[in-house]
Structure 1
Amino acid sequence: MNAPLSASQAAPAALPTASDCDVMLLLEGTFPYVSGGVSSWVNQIIRGFPEIRFGICFIGSRREDYGPPKYALPPNVVHVEVHYMHERHNVPMVKPRRGDRKAFAQMEAFHELFRSPGSQAGQLSASLEALVPLMQDGKAMDEAAFLYSEGAWEYITRQYRAFCTDPSFVDYFWTVRIMHAPVWLLARIASRLIPARCYHSISTGYAGLLGALLKQQTGRPLLLSEHGIYTKERKIDLFQSQWIRDNRSVFEKDASQISYFRDLWIRFFEALGRICYEASDDIVALYETNRLRQIKDGAPAERTRNIPNGIDLPRLSALRPLRPETPPPVLCLIGRVVPIKDVKTFIRAMRTVVNLLPDAEGWIAGPEDEDQGYAQECRNIAEGLGLQDKVKFLGFQKIDELMPKIGLVVLSSISEALPLVLLEGFAAGVPAVTTDVGSCRQLVYGLDEADQALGAAGEVVGIAEPVLLAQAAVNLLGDLPRWHAAQAAGITRVERYYTQERMFGEYRSLYQQSLQQPGAPAQALRCPMHPQR
């Protein structure tokens, strides 16, 4: 790994800079500062196209939430800049402002489009196109007008009276301000970002909104690749968040309804998703269920497609001869120690596994720094269950060193898309036990009739079912013929459907199409494995 790069724009010399690039990657909370499946995929894509000059615009929450980079920057990354959405920045001076009523009427009309399920395709883009120029510094809807004008006050109070079901106007006022403040920062980023021949966002959300702004500003193509559905994942986060207020009294609360402010945040991120979908030229999902979810959430069906993840088969298949003849009684969860991975269910499952297989161990291979409080809770549960010698927290581990030592890959997540770790395990000869999330059922049992005929590469159980998770693991580890059949099914499935070369071929076509649109010099993209193609 290269020497750690500064995560601050205060030391720009540590980050590569350029006057332009071919593809600008818009990355929210991922590569290169956060490890995980999406970041690994970004690293894979950049290295898979060494002839493309990539730029990176990293969008994070706050500076202190990130340490040094987790990945070395490949040499074809020519430009990197870092922005934080929730840090203090130079806000305009406070002074009385009347506000432009016509501009606020345009903003109100824009918001009404989100409340209208029957709004026509293109209306959002047209409305945003008219609104964004007014958001530039010194214009009628700039940040100063949003923060301090009489027009903004009138708009917020009118919206509160019309729609808010929470009794606290103070909480409503600050929620609206906090929610919308990053929009002006993104508009400034878009106006100053170096030119690119196309933009590639790896999510909707803030990165997706930035992509929509850049598409509108430059006319260059926007490609969207969603690994998980951003709005779905934000819903999970928001349902679990403790900082969102609910000021209703015990008599006003309805257990079947979420609080107004929680719902407001959910609708905000849904709105960002619709904006990004409408602006994107191509919209990629990892598997069919997610593609259909994108369409339901507003993506134009004709622009959607599926491109599954692919793995470096030669590198991982070389690990198979390193495995012992009998699978080790080691269950390994490979991933970040965060609530969405539901590490607690894995630990609880290990209590049952150890009761039935006393030699078994549970390894947790992933960083603990993203949510240290949750990581400590996981350690406490392991100790409380008497598993301190059986459940081992290993921190980040290299896949190549880990796979030959384990008997099962275990995934206990409450939300996933198409997990690379399962494919990597299959390629290395390790079956899996996983919860029924994302495309896991497809990966374990197969998609269509031909795929399903290959057999099961493990077992799928329900979410938050530690006993069923344990029983599935014990059934595989305790039945050697069944384990070997699952191993063979996984190897064949990944070799047939989930290779890196197949994935690169799909993205090569998308990049080729985008980079050769009018206004960009023609450039042929070579196959990274077969340059003559």
Structure 2
Amino acid sequence: MQQADICLLLEGTYPYVRGGVSSWVHQLISGLPHYRFYLVFIGGTRQSYAGQHYQLPDNVVGLETHFIMEPRQFSPPRARLGKAKAFAMWQQVLARFNQSEQALTPQQLQQLLDELGQRHGLSYEDFLYSEHSWQILVELYLSRAENQSFVDFFWTFRNIYSPLFSLVQIANKVPAARMLHSISTGYAGFLGALLKQRLGVPYLLSEHGIYTKERKIDLTQASWIQDRHFALDTSIHKKMENTRKTWISFFEQQGKTAYQSADRITALYQGNRERQISDGAPADKTEVIVNGINLQRFAQARQQRPAGVPKVAGLIGRVVPIKDIKTFIRAIRVAVNSEPELQGWIIGPTEEDPAYVKECELLIHSLSLQQHVKFLGMQNVAEILPQLGVCMLTSISEAQPLVLLEAMAAGVPCIATDVGSCREIIYGMQRADQALGACGYIIGIANPNQASTALLKTLTDDDNWRRMSEAGYARVQQYYQEQFMFERFNQLYETLTTWQA
């Protein structure tokens, strides 16, 4: 295999998940054909992924796939002491993960590479069964979680730190490339830090959403974590359940270590850049590179807009809780009272969270919306956009949604929650951009009444609809074309690979 120019580190996205970040990755690889890419995909368990959804471009020279939450094969349990030196290193690493104020040092990353999972160091069996490991576990419990169930703490400890053994194993085998590019912090970003330490090549870190923030949202909503509190604690200001805090500290440390290891860090908009800095990214490493789209791809869609405004609201995205599909459904219920012909189309993959899909289906039935709300699954976005009167996004977290830019390129007004860069996409970034006019409305999170009001204002005023349609197209044309994005990343790649040369 020929050496890659860029080793892309991908967590839970391309090429096994459709849409969103995956679409962006495919766009980036295809748009820079003069670079050779090697892909390292990290997922939880293989059951979570149905298969490969993208045909890899010709400039992808290799793909390796790892599932770091899969059960590991190891020898039967037996009594063992463990190596004191290796566990002294491990205790220092755990202290960083449980405090997360400071990133792991290069020396600690090297020690992980040299010793974690190794028989001469800290083997996985020693992590599971040794006396030293038990002592460290008990000390952590007594110092941080003595009012929590020990059984809960025990399994949380194992579940959190077991994947580190897999990441180190991966890092020690990934072939050399001229530079690294991780598309998130988290496990992929931490792998980037390990590879940077091992290979000594430049490391670029790009974030769409802020990974640590999104994991905090997930953990806050997680039903698998039971909020148990000590029986005698009657305070109405009970602290966050320790399991959640432990996971959050873990992800915070992964992010901080990735930020410190990276040579350059990109965000999609200024708000996320500021969040990166507050989370530990050195300000002088950071910059903003906005998303871009191919206007020509949507030229026909724009020409096919009907003369009248279609009474159809489309939500294009994955059917998962963070997209808050339920608020979209409830907004349709309210709006249908005033506009009986209104249709709500949910356009996107449904395989990621079947339980949530079922909840949405039950909500549709309970609100008697079977004739008004439809799941259409994956569709060709360019073909379906002319059929929409409005593109609606009810997410509780976003970065810079491509779907809004695509809708604007097709001349479709947008309604979106006030998350990520949605406000500047719809109303404009600075004075010249804002002068183009609004291309839709911003609404509050989880507010179906406000969403339905915006929906009716968009679909029942033809003149306003056309003004917003033209404003959206003008904004994409001036600020969000993919060629602008390709030029910025090409410049970054050239700079970083020149450092290595």
TM-score, with length taken from structure 1 = 0.91
Q: Identify the match of residue 110 of structure 2 among 118, 129, 135.
A: 129
8 Å CA contact 2:179, 2:203 repeated in 1: yes
The aligned residue for residue 444 of structure 1 is 426
The aligned residue for residue 380 of structure 1 is 362
Q: Which amino acid aligns with 2:193?
A: A
Q: Identify the match of residue 353 of structure 2 among 350, 363, 371.
A: 371
- The CA RMSD over aligned residues, in Å, is 1.7
Pairing 1:226-305 to 2, within 5 Å after superposition = 226-249=207-230, 251-252=232-233, 256=237, 257-305=239-287
Determine if the alignment matches structure 1 residue 110 to structure 2 residue 93. yes
State the shift of 1:53 in Å.
1.3
Distance 1:114 1:179 in 2: 10
Give the 3 Å change call, closer, same or farther, for CA 459–506 of structure 1 in structure 2. same
Q: What are structure 2's unaligned runs of at least 5 residues?
A: none
State the shift of 1:93 in Å.
4.6
Q: Which amino acid aligns with 1:499?
A: Q
Give the 3 Å change call, closer, same or farther, for CA 320–393 of structure 1 in structure 2. same
The aligned residue for residue 161 of structure 1 is 142
8 Å CA contact 2:100, 2:252 repeated in 1: no
Distance 2:219 2:482 in 1: 34
Distance 2:427 2:446 in 1: 20
8 Å CA contact 2:327, 2:447 repeated in 1: yes
Distance 2:33 2:274 in 1: 33
State the shift of 1:97 in Å.
2.6
Q: Which amino acid aligns with 2:365?
A: E
Q: Which amino acid aligns with 1:340?
A: I
Pairing 1:328-343 to 2, within 5 Å after superposition = 328-343=310-325
Q: What are structure 1's unaligned runs of at least 5 residues?
A: 1-17, 521-533
Q: Which amino acid aligns with 1:101?
A: A
**Secondary structure at 2:499's aligned position in 1?**
coil
Distance 2:236 2:19 in 1: 35
8 Å CA contact 1:317, 1:429 repeated in 2: no
State the shift of 1:19 in Å.
5.4
Distance 2:76 2:231 in 1: 41
Determine if the alignment matches structure 1 residue 324 to structure 2 residue 296. no
Give the 3 Å change call, closer, same or farther, for CA 115–29 of structure 1 in structure 2. closer
Determine if the alignment matches structure 1 residue 40 to structure 2 residue 32. no
Give the 3 Å change call, closer, same or farther, for CA 516–253 of structure 1 in structure 2. farther
The aligned residue for residue 20 of structure 1 is 3
* More off after superposition, 483-492 vs 408-417: 483-492
Q: Which amino acid aligns with 1:192?
A: K
Pairing 1:390-401 to 2, within 5 Å after superposition = 390-401=372-383
8 Å CA contact 1:342, 1:413 repeated in 2: yes
Q: Identify the match of residue 348 of structure 1 among 321, 324, 330.
A: 330
Deviations 1:11-32, CA, capped at 9 Å, x for gaps: xxxxxxx353221111111011
Q: Identify the match of residue 142 of structure 1 among 112, 116, 123.
A: 123
Give the 3 Å change call, closer, same or farther, for CA 155–57 of structure 1 in structure 2. same
Q: Which amino acid aligns with 2:42?
A: I
Distance 1:462 1:264 in 2: 31
Q: Which amino acid aligns with 2:132?
A: G
Distance 1:115 1:377 in 2: 35
Q: Which amino acid aligns with 2:202?
A: P
Deviations 1:319-352, CA, capped at 9 Å, x for gaps: 2111111221110000011111000000000011
TM-score, with length taken from structure 2 = 0.96
**Secondary structure at 2:175's aligned position in 1?**
coil
8 Å CA contact 1:329, 1:407 repeated in 2: yes
The aligned residue for residue 50 of structure 1 is 33
Give the 3 Å change call, closer, same or farther, for CA 220–96 of structure 1 in structure 2. same
8 Å CA contact 2:98, 2:250 repeated in 1: no
**Secondary structure at 2:8's aligned position in 1?**
strand
8 Å CA contact 1:19, 1:194 repeated in 2: no
8 Å CA contact 2:116, 2:123 repeated in 1: yes
State the shift of 1:123 in Å.
6.0
Distance 2:170 2:246 in 1: 25
Distance 2:174 2:495 in 1: 22
State the shift of 1:100 in Å.
2.7
8 Å CA contact 1:171, 1:245 repeated in 2: no
Distance 1:236 1:295 in 2: 19
Determine if the alignment matches structure 1 residue 96 to structure 2 residue 73. no
Deviations 1:102-161, CA, capped at 9 Å, x for gaps: 332233333434566764xx7633332344312252232232332222111111111111
* More off after superposition, 224-233 vs 131-140: 131-140
Deviations 1:223-276, CA, capped at 9 Å, x for gaps: 111000001111111111122244424543655422001111111111111111
The aligned residue for residue 154 of structure 2 is 173
Q: Which amino acid aligns with 1:241?
A: A
**Secondary structure at 2:391's aligned position in 1?**
strand
Give the 3 Å change call, closer, same or farther, for CA 255–196 of structure 1 in structure 2. farther
Distance 1:255 1:290 in 2: 33
Deviations 1:188-208, CA, capped at 9 Å, x for gaps: 111111221111111111111
Give the 3 Å change call, closer, same or farther, for CA 358–386 of structure 1 in structure 2. same
**Secondary structure at 2:41's aligned position in 1?**
strand
**Secondary structure at 2:337's aligned position in 1?**
helix
**Secondary structure at 2:331's aligned position in 1?**
helix
State the shift of 1:494 in Å.
0.8
* More off after superposition, 237-246 vs 391-400: 237-246
Q: Which amino acid aligns with 1:305?
A: E
Distance 1:91 1:358 in 2: 61
8 Å CA contact 2:327, 2:394 repeated in 1: yes
The aligned residue for residue 190 of structure 1 is 171
Q: Identify the match of residue 452 of structure 2 among 453, 456, 470.
A: 470
8 Å CA contact 2:100, 2:253 repeated in 1: no
8 Å CA contact 2:426, 2:441 repeated in 1: yes
Give the 3 Å change call, closer, same or farther, for CA 86–70 of structure 1 in structure 2. same
8 Å CA contact 1:125, 1:275 repeated in 2: no
Distance 1:378 1:107 in 2: 44
Distance 1:412 1:241 in 2: 20
8 Å CA contact 2:97, 2:250 repeated in 1: no
State the shift of 1:450 in Å.
1.4
What percent of counterpart residues are identical?
47
